[in-house]
Amino acid sequence: MTETLEAVSVEVAEREKQTIFQTYERLPIGEVMSASGSYLYTQDGKRYLDAIAGLGVNALGHSDPALVLAVQQQAERYLHLSNLYLQGPQVRLAEQLTRMTGWDKVFFTNSGTEAVEGAFKLARKYFSDPNKVGLVGLSNGFHGRTYGPLSVMDKPKYREGFGPFVPNTAVADVLDVASLRASVSEATAAVIVEVIQGEGGIHEMTEEFVIALHELREQYGFLIIADEIQSGVGRTGTFFAYEQFGLAPDIVVCAKAIGGGLPLGAILTSNTIASVFTPGSHGTTFGGNALACAAGSIVLDRLAADLQENILRLAPLFFSKLGELRERYPGMIHSVRGKGFMIGIEMHGSAKQIAQGLLTEHHIIVNVTGNEVIRLLPPLVWSEREINEFLYGFECMLKTLRN
């Protein structure tokens, strides 16, 4: 039986290689047949604890019953109408979002990178001045794979072979106030930042840098865009992570968790800034799709009902247990970083082996970023049970590799 299943999963892997662009390294666990709550189930009958939640997307875990029901009910009403029509699910989600965040207006997109592109366009149109079009990002940041985001990023692995990039763009050294100062001017329209760099390895912004960013905005009159695509929608313990860093952005972009598993992103801003996008000046065919918005409403309902509280209660416990492990294995764990359920465990050289061992021996899925950082983006519904399951597997790997 097992042999047959293995043969089938090898066959799927082969067919994938023959037909799909080879841009992703798939986890070597065969085909996933179903997923429920915090677990994935593969073709060979194994169960895996998912500690990265579809790369930060499955806020309610996999196939949450209320979310599935909302999508089914919406599918029976209509799947897609286009933005030619008024659609209740969009309006309901926008109301929830504005109420929960304090922003005035929402523009829905399909993905994170599309939200960032939209925010850049919005900033340039807001000034509508050919001498104020500069876009600035920070080193080690990640904002997406299309040309706007790539143009304000510096990592060769994302950019190599794709130039030339968008003119009037720059990258300042992250956390380096002098470099930021040298990178902005009267010609800057917007600076985009992640208060916690996600793909970059869970690195947090300093208070000094936030203060400098605010002062430079005051001096040059640019807009600050907070990229909350990975850190937003409750993951860090507040709706947006910037709230914990004292940052006051002008525009916020989010995606991933907002759709709970359906493709959805959003740009949030004030009435004044939003008003520069007039009918026809910006748009999208699928953005704000009714199914995605119906799912998003369930995510926000749950966040308000119990999930935000769940994270605030469990994250300190999780961090304190990880801190204890760091004390017990100082030669292996360099540091534990992040906020809420956005966690980076920086290792001294063993991150990849640990991730591999967690997968094959303990059936726990984590992700390694920035080479040495084990990144955890668990579903926001994790309880102490899943945290302990992870900690047990992680400590077993620490013991194995220390010897």
Which residues contact ligand PLP (rule: CB under 6 A)?
A: 111-113, 116, 142-144, 194, 198-199, 227, 229-230, 255
Six token digits for residue 208: 């000094």
Closer by beta carbon to ligand PLP, 225 or else 332:
225
- Cα separation, 154 vs 71, in Å, equals 39
We find the least distance from the C-beta atom of residue 378 to ligand PLP, in angstroms, to be 16
- Cα separation, 361 vs 171, in Å, equals 41
Decide: 70 and 262 in contact? Cβ < 8 Å.
no
Q: Which residues share a beta bridge with 331?
A: none
Six token digits for residue 12: 């799927």
- Cα separation, 337 vs 392, in Å, equals 19
Closer by beta carbon to ligand PLP, 158 or else 220:
158
Q: In the β-sheet with 223-227, what is the strand arrangement from edge to edge? A: 105-109, 265-269, 251-254, 223-227, 188-193, 134-138, 169-172
**In the complex, residue closest to ligand PLP by CB:** 112
We find the least distance from the C-beta atom of residue 137 to ligand PLP, in angstroms, to be 10
Closer by beta carbon to ligand PLP, 89 or else 201:
201
- Cα separation, 214 vs 141, in Å, equals 19
Please state the φ and ψ torsions of residue 207, each to the nearest 5 degrees. -65, -40
| Residue 255: its H or E element | none
Sign of the dihedral through C-alpha 325, 328, 329, 334: positive
E strand spans, 246-332: 251-254, 265-269
- The CA angle 118-124-129, to the nearest 5 degrees, is 165
Six token digits for residue 363: 């059936």
We find the least distance from the C-beta atom of residue 264 to ligand PLP, in angstroms, to be 9
Closer by beta carbon to ligand PLP, 192 or else 333:
192
Closer by beta carbon to ligand PLP, 30 or else 228:
228
Closer by beta carbon to ligand PLP, 229 or else 332:
229
Query: Helix, strand or coil for residue 377?
Result: coil
Closer by beta carbon to ligand PLP, 228 or else 250:
228
Helix, strand, coil: what percent of the chain each, to 5?
A: 45, 20, 35
